[in-house]
Structure 1
């Protein structure tokens, strides 16, 4: 057997999956059977994939069969991944909305590392070993409770740090600078944050604690804003691990930021809880030994300001050609702040190739000789009345008053080496053209029905 990287769309589920009481006859039926067995587990798996990606320690096993690549091992993972990319595969509207909501919050991988088996017989011994217990030590030997406890003690600080970043995004959604620092820390300095929140004295003085998947705050959010903004700004910037490695160093940090800390007199009478599984309940008081009573619905959380860390961050394309999809997914990995020149070039290229791809598939008139005409043709297809608010900036930047200036900027990104792109320009264009890419991609599916 050999290892290979495969595109999600090239994989199909096993219709002879041992998990099914009866063989299935289509991808949709296979997905329905997996969901029917335990819907909640697949939703939790999808959330895990959205947050952490696929488990790299357990590869998918695939068997090529004619033009199909049948998943022999990892059907649940691939089913969850397909549902994240195309929620319409779920058997009902309610589930479709749940998978769409999960997918909207993260970058979902398109490529999967697989082990290629020549036949079912070749893969069978390894799959059997994977699913039939310890097998006298040959299979997976589970940890006992003491071993789990020792491992959890080492990894728990990082999990606390991740929970705190989720709470920060909810508590201070309107502070774009702080949210940018949170994103930097989460991606590049999460273990440093873990050192800080893993220290009980730091937690006590910040006024936070952790309970399962919840963050508990001892102070009103407005009293915590200043110190938490300072902490994340420091960790995102100059504060390396060498400055917070020891207990004394962390104590010195508290002394340094004393003026930013909340006053002890401001503590809440009843602490508040934020949970990643129930973010709308972030203001629920924490009461000991109390059975919760039915709660009246709370107003939805305020929407986070648009701040794209990566190119076309919130856009997913499901119907463009494989090559276009691969280019698009690779472009989405670019950090606008870390690679502004490449991101600037790719925003122009991605818009053009997606528009051309859709035009090819739908047989539009290809007589448009310049980028403005090509974008204009796409806009007229999806918004002929020019009244879609999501496309307002795309119209304005490419066809109306600012069109000449913005299109000139797109061309300069590629052709003028004396032109240095600003990250704000790249981010603005990514946000403007993202809805257009989404809507012309959806148009492919509508036209082909």
Structure 2
């Protein structure tokens, strides 16, 4: 059971067993330790409370202090420390906070009006242990969804009306020649896990100079404007997005401005700015390189074009003819024959089984042919079999190590088969077998087969 209270600043005590500090013996020692966590942050917190008040959706957690009429704050000690200094800067005299810091905090406290803050809303717990479960959730990250999930750069931009990265991503998705499945997979990886790496490149001074990007702020939000030739910029942006997606660049490579500048300087010659070639500055959202016809607009075709029949789209999981040799094993030959005859639009679950089986067969055959271990010793000294994702990752690394030019050919396999969120990832293919609610789509399965062909060629040789 909890009780909601409204208390004054004078009724609240700092927690001398605060996990941030270790154990201290006095209120002054607790205050001093909190200030020293980060003096600049502490001063900023004081100014924020003075100017904006306390967060109306965030209560302090308290318990009754032993043998006193006061309450010990278990959650919210930084806020309480800031309130104590704002209300009475003399409390710093009992600490060993340096004079220069004290003077800065005293200046920050000038003009504070406690009547605009009090009463302070609190949640009273009967025992410290009762509060600990909730405090743990607040300070241990996402906790598989139980805790608070921090916004990434793109979520912050959506909230604030800042389109400086979002419009660039949309521009690439609208104009680059990704397949629908490949773009959805790429966009998902970028937005869910790697948005900060992309933002670091595109928001940097070297990045904006290289691409000719400026930011327009018209009062409604920030809009990115492209000043270079759009088709060239699209090639550069696609390279950047692919490099971020595939982990070719990450936060370890982009620690300093010089690292970012080095990345752009190392791009191929055709991705370097061309002297004398620039475009009319336009917002990214208004640039459509493909120039799609307006809805309902008629397209001109010749009489010969009208009578010529279009190629019939493939319905089978795999095409009839292959760019690789057939496996030598009987099972492999049967799987390959079934992949080329199985109608994925009618037998989607069966097609998913065949795709997963043939991918696993090719991975295992490649590992056998190249003597790549299929197991490893764990921390307990036991030998454990690698799962299919681990095996595939080792195969990709061996292929690229042997011929780095194959790295680009393998991107589709990484995005569709090794990326967990993909519709044809190994995890999704397993789900089609074991999850009675999970059903694949024919288009996704055909795309999964096509992007796996480089692995099949590596395992069985080119036809």
Shorter-chain TM-score: which interval? 0.3 to 0.5
